[in-house]
Amino acid sequence: AQKVTQAQTEISVVEKEDVTLDCVYETRDTTYYLFWYKQPPSGELVFLIRRNSFDEQNEISGRYSWNFQKSTSSFNFTITASQVVDSAVYFCALITGNQFYFGTGTSLTVIP
Amino acid sequence: ETGVTQTPRHLVMGMTNKKSLKCEQHLGHNAMYWYKQSAKKPLELMFVYNFKEQTENNSVPSRFSPECPNSSHLFLHLHTLQPEDSALYLCASSQERGWSGYTFGSGTRLTVV
């Protein structure tokens, strides 16, 4: 069975702190893709990153970085020097075959 | 603007009403999806259309009726809903198989009274 677990339901940090959002996935497929989406209060899910199962290179994009480790089936997301605009719900997702599996989301609040 | 447009953004309807949600994309995607997002619950996939053909119906009650007249438009017709159907309804589109990811609309916040 495929599954995505985001154990952190809610996180609050003070502005400028670093924060890591955890994502653990389960799949028996060897080919799959992992995603992170951001859902601000406006509602739409905004695409942040996609990684395929054959590429374990970590990625950095500005204040965002992602750590993909197949050995632990994890795809964690770190925001460095958090800002109030980072407040949102963040979803980790797995796609394999034709199915998209979402985690339950982590609600991040950045306090000014 | 995400490339996927949903209307209306907010909808309040009585349990005996009939209404429709609309989704439109001009990204050249050939798959479209309806998701339901309820408070404190995971995103629930409702329907999948691939090249205008419905390929998935995840045990959705018949009071929700999808329609996909072409690859760019997707509707969700609602009738005799229940208060527990109140949720954010998200439309998404993708290339076939969706491996490049889904593009989501802003959603319709539905309240059933």
Q: How does residue A21 score in pLDDT terms, banded at 50, 70 and 90?
A: very high
What DSSP line would sit under B94-113, residue for residue?
ESTT-TT--EE---EEEEE-
For residue A45, list chain B residues with Cβ-Cβ distance below 8 A: 90, 92, 102, 104
State yes or no: pLDDT of A2 exceeds 70. no
Counting as low any pLDDT under 70, the low residues of chain B are 1-2
Q: Is B65 buried (19+), middle (13-18) or exposed (0-12) by CB count in 10 A?
A: middle
pLDDT, position B41 = 80
Confidence (pLDDT) at A19: 98
Using a CB-CB cut-off of 8 Å, the residues of chain B touching A47 are 101-103
The per-residue pLDDT for range B30-50, each reduced to its tens digit, is 999 999 999 878 889 999 998
Please check whether residue A47 touches B, CB under 8 A.
yes
**Mode of pairing for the β-strands spanning B108-112 and B10-13:** parallel
Give dist(CA B101, CA A77) in Å, integer.
17
Residues in CB range of A101: below 8 A, 6 or more apart? A2, A3, A4, A25, A93, A94, A95
Q: Could you give the count of Cα atoms lying within 13 Å of A79 in the half-sphere of its Cβ?
A: 24
Q: What residues pair up with A59 in beta bridges, in sequence order? A: A66
pLDDT digits over A41-91, tens only? Answer: 888 899 999 999 998 888 888 999 999 999 999 999 999 999 999 999 999
